[in-house]
């Protein structure tokens, strides 16, 4: 549980973990130099339950570096993030562990929608999970709390990078390319929406550009589990979808110049690593 100025919500987050129907867990709370009573509240719970340990960083690290910091203190085989403004259900940990332990080779269990043919949990090979994400429906656009991660797999990919707001997306691209992925149901956590959440990026397109830059690089990467033809197909599919988005922006929102710029930004992001891109035939 990473924390920064969450005095209004952290108690409920901690209590939701305490209410779990299993007691085989530890709660590692790492505060990123809060200026409110977050640490005081966290330590009051730690004083009552030895399974709760509280750490305070020497300096503010930011979101994803602090997630790595929290993982460095963890002693368990699995890592589960619960943000200090979110909550878990009593059955969350039990269900997540059940899904991951069914498949010893899986690097993580990830919440995803059922495909209508097989019930959860299902284990996907790297190429299967990539095909599901790029050709069926979004899989990697999940928050860190939507997964249970095997510690060895987390360490193997180096944890999270410092990328703001898209670090979780980058992490899933990396770990799912190297390890099988177990599926589990969505809705296992309660993710709050509130006014004090991290502010949006300055540009309305900035997050999309960052995500598609990651996609372009990963589809060009030697570790990408898709074939060359599949990578080309994925790029064409993305460009077609974003072209339609730009068209709606131009026609429905009457913003033709913004639409042109949006499409250019997305296309440039996808091909930002064009010198190493093996699928350069996509137009």
Tell me the CATH number at 16. Answer: 3.90.550.10
Burial code (b: 16+ CB inside 10 Å, e: under 16) for 204-238 equals eeeebbbbbbbbbbbbbbeebbbeeebbbbbbeeb
| Model pLDDT, residue 201 | 44
CA–CA gap between residue 202 and residue 200 (Å, rounded): 6
Share of the chain above pLDDT 90, in %: 86
Phi, psi of 89 (to 5 degrees): -85, 160
Q: What is the bridge-based pairing of β-strands 27-31 and 2-3?
A: parallel
pLDDT score of 282 more than 50: no
Instruction: Kindly give, in sequence order, each residue whose CB lies less than 8 Å from that of residue 282, ignoring residues fewer than 6 positions away.
Output: 232, 235, 236, 239
For residues 213 and 177, membership in a common domain is answered with no
Given 190, 220, 235, the domain boundary residue is 190
The answer to whether 181 and 106 are in contact (CB under 8 A) is: yes
Given 155, 190, 225, the domain boundary residue is 190
For residues 169 and 257, membership in a common domain is answered with no
| Model pLDDT, residue 197 | 63
Has residue 227 been placed in a domain?
yes
For residues 223 and 105, membership in a common domain is answered with no
For residues 44 and 83, membership in a common domain is answered with yes
For residues 93 and 161, membership in a common domain is answered with yes
For range 70-88, the mean pLDDT:
97
For residues 258 and 123, membership in a common domain is answered with no
CA–CA gap between residue 138 and residue 141 (Å, rounded): 6
For residues 84 and 215, membership in a common domain is answered with no
For residues 213 and 166, membership in a common domain is answered with no
Q: Structural domain of residue 15, as residue ranges?
A: 2-190
For range 147-155, the mean pLDDT:
98
For residues 226 and 147, membership in a common domain is answered with no
Name the domain count of the chain: 2
For residues 136 and 84, membership in a common domain is answered with yes
3-state secondary structure 42-63: HHHHHCCCCCEEEEECCCCCCH
For residues 10 and 139, membership in a common domain is answered with yes
Has residue 148 been placed in a domain?
yes
Has residue 247 been placed in a domain?
yes
For residues 83 and 164, membership in a common domain is answered with yes
Alpha-helical runs (H) found in 55-166: 63-73, 92-101, 126-135, 151-156
Pick the range with the lowest mean pLDDT from 1-15, 219-233, 267-281.
267-281
Has residue 232 been placed in a domain?
yes
Has residue 87 been placed in a domain?
yes
pLDDT digits (tens, 9 = 90+) for 184-202: 999 999 887 766 666 544 4
């Amino acid at each position: 549980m990473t924390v920064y100025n969450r005095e209004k919500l952290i108690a409920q987050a901690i209590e939701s973990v305490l209410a779990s129907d299993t007691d085989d867990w530890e709660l590692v709370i790492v505060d990123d130099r809060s200026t409110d009573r977050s640490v005081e509240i966290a330590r009051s719970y730690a004083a009552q339950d030895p399974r709760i340990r509280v750490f305070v960083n020497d300096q503010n690290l930011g979101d994803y570096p602090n997630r790595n910091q929290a993982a460095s203190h963890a002693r368990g085989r699995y890592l589960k993030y619960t943000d200090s403004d979110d909550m878990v259900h009593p059955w969350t940990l039990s269900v997540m562990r059940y899904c991951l332990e069914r498949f010893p080779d899986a690097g993580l269990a990830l919440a995803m929608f059922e495909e209508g043919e097989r019930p959860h949990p299902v284990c996907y090979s790297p190429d299967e999970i990539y095909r599901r994400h790029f050709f069926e429906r979004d899989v990697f656009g999940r928050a860190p709390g939507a997964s249970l991660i095997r510690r060895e797999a987390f360490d193997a990919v180096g944890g999270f990078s410092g990328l703001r707001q898209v670090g979780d997306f980058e992490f899933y691209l990396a770990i799912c390319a190297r390890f099988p992925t177990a599926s589990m149901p969505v809705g296992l956590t309660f993710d709050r929406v509130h006014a004090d959440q991290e502010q949006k990026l300055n540009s309305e397109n900035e997050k999309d550009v960052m995500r598609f830059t990651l996609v372009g690089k990963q589809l060009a990467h030697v570790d990408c589990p898709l074939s060359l033809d599949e990578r080309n197909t994925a790029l064409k599919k993305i460009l077609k979808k974003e072209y339609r988005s730009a068209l709606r922006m131009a026609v429905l929102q009457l913003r033709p110049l913004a639409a042109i710029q949006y499409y250019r930004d997305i296309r440039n992001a996808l091909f930002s690593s064009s010198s190493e891109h093996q699928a350069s035939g996509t137009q």
